[in-house]
Amino acid sequence: MFDALKEKLSSLFSKLGSKGRLSQEDIDTAMRELRRSLLEADVDFRAAKDLIAKIRERASGVEVLQSITPSERISAIVYEELISLMGKPAPLIISPKPPTVILMAGLQGSGKTTSTVKLARLLKNSHNPLVVACDLRRPAAVEQLKVLAEGAKVSFFGPENKKGKNDTDVLKVVKGAVKYAEDHMNDVIILDTAGRLHIDDELMNELKSIAEILPPHEKILVVDAMTGQEAVNSAKAFHELLNLTGLILTKLDGDARGGSALSIRTVTGVPVKFAGVGENTDALEIFSPERMAGRIMGMGDIQGLVEKVKAAGINDTEIKSPGKIAKNFDLEMLLKQFEQLEKLGPIEKIAGMIPGFDKIKNFRAEDADAGALKRSKAIIQSMTHEERRNPRIIKGSRRRRIAEGSGTSVQSVNQLLAQYEQMRKMFKSFTGSGGSRKLKSLFGFGR
Ligand code: GDP
């Protein structure tokens, strides 16, 4: 999935490489290439244009950081903007009052019947779904749904077969399905409606009359991602007529023009709820903008990189060099480090952002004593601004007040202040050998 786009982006970022600073020309070239790659992947051109404008604006503000190359920052920006392009995840609507009715629509060959069974199979973990054959004009369609449902061990309901001929009254089938669901405790009914080569009035009228008898909670259109902009156009047309609640994009396992997955939501306003990623009935994923963007960026840990960038953004303005840290290191800074530590997890991430700390390896926040971290934070939070900036003024009575305010003891306050002092001194030396051991022993985090 997205192999071509992924490859292009990765070559784009490797060209930006480890340059310490990017010129406007570098950014312009990169944005041109990005635009071309998106269009080749069949991302809607307006969506691509807006996306590039946002990325360009953010990329131009990228300053030089100690621990992160501009290329890394720009890839993090691209990742974030791709996610925001795909929109917030939209979970399937499940009615509090069963049965939940899901109407599946789609053009012939889009993967509608397969997706109906895939969805039922996915829902089987927590529900008792029933798939219903409503495409009565093509007997083969009924049979296909039945066979797939049997294979996936999903309940099936279809038209009555009299003397080798199927009933052709869709509304009768729908009513029959409701009764069947009641009798068999099916709490989700998924209607596999008729497929067509094109949208026509007859199809729309049929869908509308089904919806009248059995109002659906979800109206899902299945679209074939391989048809690129066609998929987007048919989604737009169906939405105007049916007021869709969601999309399933199929064949995202193929690579061709997967870009429609990126822009279909912005263009149509309908959220993608699931992605079909193979022919088998277990090949359906809940659509996750983050996962999709991660795949496109081709970086397992892009999320980690984004966090690193965010955290570095905070620290970089204050921390420039080890000498400066030693000079400015106060309890306010220490508190910020604690907060980062809590948010980020592995300390290497924070350590990597502070010059010199990046030498310290094999120390993970999981080893940390979370209680000690919380206590240390509470102690600093109970100090006045002045005290945090200038810890030397914290004498006897202040220590008692802080201990009380933080719900700790004077001894704990003394300990934190001693540790702070020790850490401040260590800033001058920890780039040398033994830094890791010394750091671990601080604050009781490593044992
Ligand atoms: P319908 O006419 O819309 O009901 O489409 P079908 O469900 O019959 O699917 C048409 C073809 O697409 C079948 O050969 C399916 O196996 C295939 N198909 C459906 N979804 C996917 C998918 O996510 N990935 C792949 N590779 N093939 C799919």
Q: What is the 3-state secondary structure (H, E, C) of 218-246?
A: EEEEEEEHHHCHHHHHHHHHHHHHHCCCE
Q: In the block, which residue shows the tokens 């921390």?
A: 319
Residues 271/260, Cβ–Cβ less than 8 Å: no
* Ligand 1 close to Cβ of residue 258 (< 6 A): no
Nearest CA to ligand 1 atom 28: 279
Stated pTM of the model: 0.68
* Ligand 1 close to Cβ of residue 251 (< 6 A): yes
- In whole angstroms, what is the distance from residue 176 CA to residue 172 CA? 6
* Ligand 1 close to Cβ of residue 277 (< 6 A): yes
Mutate to test the pocket of ligand 1, among 121, 279, 280, 286 (most ligand atoms within 8 A of CB): 279
* Ligand 1 close to Cβ of residue 280 (< 6 A): no
* Ligand 1 close to Cβ of residue 108 (< 6 A): yes
Residues 417/423, Cβ–Cβ less than 8 Å: no
Alpha-helical segments (H) within 152-288: 170-184, 201-213, 229-242, 260-268
In order of 3, 34, 36, 126, 170, the CA distances from 48 in angstroms are 18, 9, 9, 38, 42
Q: Is the dihedral of CA 315, 317, 321, 326 positive or negative?
A: negative
- In whole angstroms, what is the distance from residue 194 CA to residue 168 CA? 12
Res 9: pLDDT = 86
Res 400: pLDDT = 94
Res 363: pLDDT = 38
* Ligand 1 close to Cβ of residue 113 (< 6 A): yes
Q: How far is the CA of 109 from the centre of ligand 1 (A)?
A: 6
| Closest residue by Cα to residue 279 from 253, 249, 246 | 253
* Ligand 1 close to Cβ of residue 195 (< 6 A): yes
* Ligand 1 close to Cβ of residue 138 (< 6 A): no
Q: How far is the CA of 275 from the centre of ligand 1 (A)?
A: 12
3-state DSSP assignment of residue 177: helix
Q: Can you point out the beta strands (E) in 58-114?
A: 100-106
Q: How far is the CA of 341 from the centre of ligand 1 (A)?
A: 47
In order of 70, 130, 294, 305, 360, the CA distances from 67 in angstroms are 10, 54, 22, 11, 14
In order of 110, 121, 132, the CA distances from 151 in angstroms are 20, 10, 15
Nearest CA to ligand 1 atom 14: 279
Residues 101/187, Cβ–Cβ less than 8 Å: no
Which atom of ligand 1 is least distant from the CA of 109?
2
Q: What is the pLDDT along the chain (447 residues), one digit of tens a residue?
A: 678 888 888 888 888 776 767 788 888 988 999 999 999 888 888 999 999 999 988 887 666 565 677 778 888 889 899 999 999 989 999 999 999 999 999 999 999 999 999 999 999 989 999 999 999 888 789 999 999 999 999 999 999 876 667 677 899 999 999 999 999 999 999 999 988 777 788 888 899 999 999 999 999 999 998 888 888 889 999 999 899 999 999 998 876 667 888 889 999 999 999 999 899 999 999 998 988 888 888 755 566 666 666 666 533 333 334 455 566 678 888 887 777 666 655 444 444 444 334 333 343 444 445 677 788 889 999 999 889 988 989 998 999 999 999 999 999 999 899 888 877 776 655 444 444 444 444 544 433
- In whole angstroms, what is the distance from residue 382 CA to residue 410 CA? 13
24: number of Cβ within 10 Å: 10
Res 182: pLDDT = 96
Mutate to test the pocket of ligand 1, among 122, 131, 250 (most ligand atoms within 8 A of CB): 250
Res 308: pLDDT = 64
Phi, psi of 217 (to 5 degrees): -80, -30
* Ligand 1 close to Cβ of residue 55 (< 6 A): no
Phi, psi of 282 (to 5 degrees): -100, 5
Res 355: pLDDT = 37
